[in-house]
Amino acid sequence: MNWIRQIGRTTLDRVSATGRAGLMLFGALIAPPSIKNIPLTIKQVYVVGVQSLAIIIVSGLFIGMVMALQGYTILTDYGAEGSLGPMVALSLLRELGPVVTALLFAGRAGSALTAEIGLMKATEQLSSLEMMAVDPLRRVVAPRFWAGMLSMPMLALIFSAVGILGGHLVGVDWLGVDAGSYWSIMQSTVDWDKDVINGVIKSLVFALVVTWIAIFKGYDSIPTSEGISQATTQTVVFSSLAVLGLDFVLTALMFGIE
Amino acid sequence: MNRYKTELMVGVFVLMTIAALLLLALKVANQTVVTDGDTYTLYAKFDNIGGLKVRSPVKVGGVTIGRVSSIKLDSDDYSPVVELTIQAEYNAFPETSSASILTSGLLGEQYIGFEPGFTIDGVENLADGDYIEDTSSALVLEELIGQFLFSRSSEE
Amino acid sequence: MDYLVNVDNMTFSRGERVIYDGVSLRVPKGKITAVMGPSGIGKTTLLKLIGGQLQPDSGDITFDGDSIVNMSRRELYQTRRRMSMLFQSGALFTDMSVFDNVAFPLREHTKLSESVIATIVSLKLQAVGLRGAAQLMPSELSGGMARRAALARAIALDPDLIMYDEPFAGQDPISMGVLVKLIRELNDALNLTSIVVTHDVTEVLTIADYIYILADKRIIGEGTAEQIKHSDSELVQQFLRGEADGPVPFHYPAPSLQESMLGEEV
């Protein structure tokens, strides 16, 4: 009987955690955005967005370069090097851009968000805000949430663009694919709505999930060093799994039916 | 962290995003051919369209003049009807023009090769909504192999 | 006498564990009231209950006549502007300088110009002796200085009530002396009402006007410092003298040692 009880308890825990996470987000976003929050949000865009730029640009460049190298060796066998451009661009825009950005974001910015909020809780800064009649949901959670929602699609676009340039670097400048065909075949294959916009939509969904998990894990953490380290790990694990799972669902919805 | 530097760097971040968007919009994605500018519509009926898709290009001598905008099955004789959206500046093709489904490279994408026909008196130009009479279907590899084997066996 | 905070027959529990069972206490206006008790009985919880961060299971808590328990969120936030709390860790915002920390409540809740705010902040920092440290970051302060900076922040908006959570814990004798002096002086100079939660007996007996002793989920003794010293309650005496064993047992409840060691033979 004990294991049945265990299942029941786990379910209840999960449901109540989901409920708390929902309440937290609701409490943070219900407030009308105040002017005071704009500088705070800009500061958070700096923390989660600008500080993630380096890793995003470097990863994007290398992933584009590797794809061009791999793609070239396969495509030359069929005399189809011309398709290198669309291959690189489509993989980046549809999949790798949003997904890899979300995974890197979870590791770079998500874990930092969790640790920061967890420590603010442990050092009673959140409590002290509340006692100063300042709502920590609006003051701490909301700016970080909006910063995440803004930054991730921006990072994903930069990632894809840099990746395409990296593909150009290897494919055209190094391996000698014709520059004209790299761009023109890419241009005739890539569709603005279907590929670019869908990629941005994916990225927005990932941004919501990763930022939400990161903030909630910090906000709901047990305020001890062990609790915070656990929460940080969980942020990375949970948000990575959520991104990969959701990616399948979104891909099926966007590209599966035609 | 001083505020000036924060705002400056966020500004750089935004500019980089705009640059990325511009690159994607102007060099990577194609959003102009069909949606913008004046177009007119032609129809072509094929026996078999092979791997032709919506948005496949329509080319004259390698120059893209339009795209496939929809593919339907004719309700009377169940043969595929392809709707072609052609840019309005190319509007003087004679009725005798032909359309065939071709493949770029061995495994490349399929497109419609459009061949302008001859012009003599009494031949009018194709107008919006007309059907192209002279069409040839996509080559299907299995059928080709079948024909080849058939002709071999009949020779012996 | 006028009472600012009134806790009436309040019961509070966390999960299965009962923390308070029918506690009543009153905090007189303009005085320093101390709440003492052994560690781990939830003295901080009491402050959070008064601040409305936690809800009691039953009973009532009023602030200046208004019930904290029944307040709407909006009213609660309005009321909190009149109280402030000095946390045990200080709880300074680590990403701002001392100056910005003290200016924080002013910037949040008033529309004063920056120059007026700068003047007020300087005065508050002067009161705690840290005007020279205004541009330091919290990480550069010692524990005692951090607590004084937090105190300057707590009095920035001239509250009616200030709650001290273990202000003396982990302080060296000098910082402790400074804090005792500050609490007393601020209380008299700004006409504040103070609640000090602590287990440091000697310090409290010197400054508190009225003392409550909490143990075992309820109040076991109350009175002025003199009355407490001469209390005939064994529990109070054990607490004051710091005796290891007594009504508050040395051992956490457990089966007798003999039983656990020798197993079922006994």
DSSP string, A97-131: HHHHHHHHHIIIIIHHHHHHHHHHHHTTHHHHHHH
- The three-state secondary structure class of A39 is helix
Residue A129 and residue A121: Cα distance in Å, rounded? Answer: 10
Choose from B15, B21, B27, B110 for mutation: most chain A CBs within 10 A: B27
- Interface chains of chain A (3 or more CB pairs under 8 Å): B, C
Interface membership of C6 toward A (CB under 8 Å): no
Interface membership of A51 toward C (CB under 8 Å): no
Does B153 reside within a domain? no
Residue C155 and residue C130: Cα distance in Å, rounded? Answer: 14
Residue A111 and residue A235: Cα distance in Å, rounded? Answer: 6
**Position with higher pLDDT, A248 vs C17:** A248
**Domain count across chain B:** 2
Strands (DSSP E) found in B22-132: 39-45, 57-60, 63-73, 80-87, 98-103, 110-115, 131-132
Does B46 reside within a domain? yes
Interface membership of C259 toward A (CB under 8 Å): no
Indicate the angle between helix axes A142-168 and A198-219, nearest 10 degrees: 140
Which residues of A fall within a CB distance of 8 Å from C48?
A: 127
Q: Average pLDDT, stretch B7-21?
A: 90
Does B56 reside within a domain? yes
- Cβ distance A158 to B16 less than 8 Å, yes or no, reads yes
Averaged confidence pLDDT in chain C: 83
Let me know: does A146 contact A204? Beta carbons within 8 Å.
no
- Cβ distance C81 to A125 less than 8 Å, yes or no, reads no
Question: Residue B7's pLDDT is what?
Answer: 86
- Cβ distance A124 to C48 less than 8 Å, yes or no, reads no
Percent of chain B, pLDDT > 90? 6
Q: Average pLDDT, stretch C40-55?
A: 83
Q: Could you tell me the CA-to-CA distances from C46 to A199, C13, C36, C49 in Å, in that order?
A: 52, 11, 11, 5
Please indicate, yes or no, whether residues B105 and B63 belong to a single structural domain of this protein: yes
Residue closest to B70 by CA, chosen among B80, B61, B83, B88? B83
Residue B124 and residue C166: Cα distance in Å, rounded? Answer: 98
User: B10: distance to nearest CA of chain A, Å?
Assistant: 6
- Cβ distance A191 to B64 less than 8 Å, yes or no, reads no
Q: Domain range for residue B105?
A: 39-147
Please indicate, yes or no, whether residues B104 and B57 belong to a single structural domain of this protein: yes
Please indicate, yes or no, whether residues B45 and B72 belong to a single structural domain of this protein: yes
Please determine, for residue A168, whether its predicted confidence score (pLDDT) is greater than 90. Answer: yes
Residue A160 and residue A93: Cα distance in Å, rounded? Answer: 6
Question: Residue A147's pLDDT is what?
Answer: 93
User: B120: distance to nearest CA of chain A, Å?
Assistant: 35
Please indicate, yes or no, whether residues B7 and B70 belong to a single structural domain of this protein: no
- The three-state secondary structure class of A221 is coil
Question: Residue B34's pLDDT is what?
Answer: 45
Question: Residue C266's pLDDT is what?
Answer: 44
Domain locations in chain A as residue ranges: 34-256
Residues in CB range of C237: below 8 A, 6 or more apart: C231, C243, C246
Chain A, nearest residue to B58 by Cα: A188
Does B154 reside within a domain? no
Tell which C residues from 72 to 111 touch A, by Cβ distance under 8 Å. 77-78, 80-81, 83-85, 87-89, 91-94, 104-105, 108-109
Give percent helix, percent strand, percent coil of chain B, each to the nearest 5. Answer: 25, 30, 40
List the single residue in A128, A133, A135 with the smallest CB-CB distance to C109: A133
Q: Could you tell me the CA-to-CA distances from B86 to A225, B64, B136, C6, C35 in Å, in that order?
A: 66, 9, 19, 83, 86
Residue B72 and residue A190: Cα distance in Å, rounded? Answer: 23
Written as one letter, the residue type at B124 is: E
Please indicate, yes or no, whether residues B25 and B53 belong to a single structural domain of this protein: no
Q: Identify residues of A whose CB sits under 8 angstroms from chain B CBs.
A: 39, 42-43, 45-46, 49-50, 53, 78-80, 82-83, 89, 93, 151, 154, 157-158, 160-162, 164-165, 183, 186-193, 195-196
Let me know: does C224 contact C200? Beta carbons within 8 Å.
no
Averaged confidence pLDDT in chain B: 81
CATH number of C1-92+155-260: 3.40.50.300
User: A134: distance to nearest CA of chain C, Å?
Assistant: 8
Mean pLDDT lowest for which of A192-201, B64-73, C222-231? C222-231
Q: How confident is the model at residue C23 (pLDDT cuts 50, 70, 90)?
A: confident
User: A49: distance to nearest CA of chain B, Å?
Assistant: 8
Please determine, for residue A240, whether its predicted confidence score (pLDDT) is greater than 90. Answer: yes
Does B152 reside within a domain? no
Give the helix ranges, DSSP H, for chain C: 43-50, 73-80, 98-109, 114-128, 143-154, 173-189, 201-207, 225-229, 234-241, 257-262
- The three-state secondary structure class of B85 is strand
Interface membership of C178 toward A (CB under 8 Å): no
Question: Residue C189's pLDDT is what?
Answer: 85
Q: How confident is the model at residue C265 (pLDDT cuts 50, 70, 90)?
A: low
Choose from C49, C72, C92 for mutation: most chain A CBs within 10 A: C92
Choose from C46, C63, C77 for mutation: most chain A CBs within 10 A: C77
Please indicate, yes or no, whether residues B86 and B46 belong to a single structural domain of this protein: yes
Chain A, nearest residue to C155 by Cα: A132
Chain A, nearest residue to C45 by Cα: A127
Please indicate, yes or no, whether residues B69 and B22 belong to a single structural domain of this protein: no
Does B156 reside within a domain? no
Give percent helix, percent strand, percent coil of chain A, each to the nearest 5. Answer: 90, 0, 10
Residue A42 and residue B6: Cα distance in Å, rounded? Answer: 8
Residues in CB range of B150: below 8 A, 6 or more apart: none
List the single residue in A36, A127, A133 with the smallest CB-CB distance to C87: A127
Please determine, for residue C40, whether its predicted confidence score (pLDDT) is greater than 80. Answer: no
Residue A232 and residue B5: Cα distance in Å, rounded? Answer: 29
- Cβ distance A124 to C91 less than 8 Å, yes or no, reads yes
Please indicate, yes or no, whether residues B19 and B57 belong to a single structural domain of this protein: no
Residue A81 and residue A85: Cα distance in Å, rounded? Answer: 8
pLDDT digits (tens, 9 = 90+) for B52-106: 877 778 888 878 888 888 888 888 888 889 988 888 888 888 888 888 888 876 6
The tokens describing C9, both together, are 């027959």
Which residues of B fall within a CB distance of 8 Å from A49?
A: 10, 13
Interface membership of B17 toward A (CB under 8 Å): yes
pTM of the prediction? 0.78
Please indicate, yes or no, whether residues B18 and B56 belong to a single structural domain of this protein: no
Q: How confident is the model at residue C247 (pLDDT cuts 50, 70, 90)?
A: low
Choose from B13, B58, B65, B103 for mutation: most chain A CBs within 10 A: B13
Please determine, for residue C217, whether its predicted confidence score (pLDDT) is greater than 70. Answer: yes
Please indicate, yes or no, whether residues B64 and B93 belong to a single structural domain of this protein: yes
User: A66: distance to nearest CA of chain B, Å?
Assistant: 19
- Cβ distance C91 to A125 less than 8 Å, yes or no, reads yes
Does B107 reside within a domain? yes
Does B115 reside within a domain? yes
Let me know: does C218 contact C12? Beta carbons within 8 Å.
no
Question: Residue B61's pLDDT is what?
Answer: 83
End-to-end CA, chain C: 60
Question: Residue C68's pLDDT is what?
Answer: 85
Choose from B6, B28, B34, B69 for mutation: most chain A CBs within 10 A: B28
Which residues of A fall within a CB distance of 8 Å from C85?
A: 128, 131
Please indicate, yes or no, whether residues B124 and B59 belong to a single structural domain of this protein: yes
Please indicate, yes or no, whether residues B5 and B56 belong to a single structural domain of this protein: no
Neighbours of C132 (CB within 10 A): 9
- Cβ distance A123 to C51 less than 8 Å, yes or no, reads no
Let me know: does A87 contact A75? Beta carbons within 8 Å.
yes
Averaged confidence pLDDT in chain A: 90
Q: How confident is the model at residue A149 (pLDDT cuts 50, 70, 90)?
A: very high
Burial call C200-220: b when 16+ CB within 10 Å, e when fewer: bbebbbebbebbbbbbebebb
